[in-house]
Structure 1
């Protein structure tokens, strides 16, 4: 009888162990802010930059909260801490980035995405850091994809012109020539960047080439490669080359960076750059996609 009980119980124990292992695997949605980050650094529950924290913005949403003021290289540790926390071990992440958050995410993946990362337990302290699971490591992070709203990976002419406060260290990084030379934009570690490009620009349109969202031109928000920005527009505008959807080269032959695809082009010129404290502008479309697909 003892042998029979052992034979019956052992599969149950194994089954419970497997269920526990599966339950431990969790998906998270990380939100990477841009310039003038207003959330509390290290507090992954503070969504002040974005809008009401009650909004559905993907499964187990976390706000990375780097300061949006200092240089990308100086603040990258904030993003690395969050990626280590929630995107290692058996856990996986969806990532959403806005504006300079695109530059931050691209830089961090290119520069650190091939390095050993200690597997963390997804329980962040007040500094935004998590404890080790068992001391083991992995290479890079578990990231499903990155959604980018008004991405500044290619910089902005507003930084070139000094329209933004030149005393901010981040503005130096946002100059188009600097942003495009900062890291290898083609090296995303195989992670897809889904680009959402807004086009309701009015106030600064004379400084920004082609279509823009008042802060970022299509050459950047559309992930167009090259050492400098150029004019790209919607198909209805005959004055400059079209920003194509998907991964296709832009009209005129300029390629997009590897693993970059234009998921949304603002043909109706309806979306600007700003969240307005309510998940607004081009960010609203990324939030909707995260709600629908980051599960």
Structure 2
């Protein structure tokens, strides 16, 4: 069965199961920003980081805003609050994340995805926290995760000090730090679909292999291991290919468990940046959310 059709079937089967159990499920599309932030923290209706809030981006879209500045360990509670709000009880979520948002959702699932969560009412306060309904469950109801320009493998720009800033997040984005932060193979069996851009020019001498000007393919493609490697498109003979799907990459390096490359920028036309208009490789994730996050 084609992968996109399979994903639609998962969504339909989940909805039918809830109906059979006597509960009407509501599906939500959660968008987790990356470095620099932009949207008001706690305001799930503020899509400033992404682009116009009127743009379609999946069913019942919510912007999971965090400051894009602090360390993952100290800001991840914002992501867990949103997951509790919309992905517990009868409700289910599709998740989309950009750049360091990949670290945020990976961290939440790996370290907290097996914990007991209070079922929430999907009615957040001004700080983005929802009220309890009285029930509990283990982890969150997540159908799948789309990642644009994922930084869970870190960036050589953080290693080299190319981001001349003092924000704590940059320390987390060093390749060795990001890869050791949590068990990237532990996704609680939630699939991460990776979208990797390759229109990188400014930092091509620092970032390994193909890159989108902020992260290289080893990170955006979910390549496993304690350190990054050099991965490229099939037309580039100077480094190993980043393969599509779940297959091991050329040279034998596997991807993290439950990670699949859904888009590889063979035309080298998409960079890292949203430009306040759902641009760059985020445009590919948004299109997929419109089609499949229903």
TM-score by length of 1: 0.92
Residue 38 (1) aligns with residue 31 (2):
no
What's 2:52 paired with?
A: 52
For residues 164-203 of structure 1, what are the alpha-carbon distances to aligned partners after superposition, in whole Å with 9 as ceiling and x for unaligned? 1341100000000000000000000000000000000011
Secondary structure class of the residue paired with 1:75: helix
Match of 1:263 in 2: 262
Does residue 88 of the first structure (1) align with residue 97 of the second (2)?
Answer: no
Give, in whole Å, the separation in 2 of the partners of 1:257 and 1:166: 30
Partner residue, 1:140: 139
The runs of at least 4 aligned residues of structure 1 exceeding 4 Å deviation read 18-23
- In structure 2, C-alpha distance between the alignment counterparts of 1:166 and 1:51, rounded to whole Å: 25
Secondary structure of 2:121's counterpart equals strand
What SS does the aligned partner of 2:270 have? coil
1:38 aligns to what SS in structure 2? Answer: coil
Aligned partners of 1:42 and 1:127 also within 8 Å: yes
Q: Deviations over 1:31-70 (max 9, x none)?
A: 0000000000000000000000001000000000011000
Distance in structure 1 (CA, Å) of the matches to 2:272 and 2:21: 42
For residues 36 and 22 of structure 2, what CA distance do their matches in structure 1 show? 39
Secondary structure at the aligned position of 1:111 is classed as helix
Distance 1:61 1:77 in 2: 20
CA distance in 2 between counterparts of 1:156 and 1:105 reads: 17
Alpha-carbon distance in 2 for matches of 1:76, 1:130 = 16
Kept in 2, the 8 Å contact 1:220–1:229? The answer is: yes
2:215 paired with 1:216 = yes
Aligned to 2:117: 117
Q: Following the alignment from structure 1 to structure 2, what is the Cα–Cα distance between the partners of residues 280 and 129? A: 29
Query: Could you give the per-residue CA deviations for residues 145-175 of structure 1, whole angstroms, max 9, x where no partner exists?
Result: 0000000010000000111134110000000
Tell me which moved more, 21-30 or 266-275: 21-30
Alignment of 1:78-227 (within 5 A): 78-133=78-133, 135-227=134-226
Query: Does the Cα contact within 8 Å between 1:69 and 1:169 map onto a contact in 2?
Result: yes
Contact kept in structure 2, 1:57 and 1:287, CA below 8 Å: yes
After TM superposition, give the deviation of residue 24 of structure 1 in Å: 3.7
Q: CA deviation at 1:23?
A: 6.6
Q: 1:19 to 1:194 in 2, by over 3 A?
A: closer
- CA contact 2:51–2:274 (8 Å) conserved in 1: yes
Structure 1 contact 94–144 (Cα < 8 Å) conserved = yes
Distance 1:21 1:120 in 2: 19
The runs of 5 or more residues in structure 1 that have no matched partner are 1-17
Gaps of 5+ in 2: 1-17
Q: Paired residue for 1:276?
A: 275
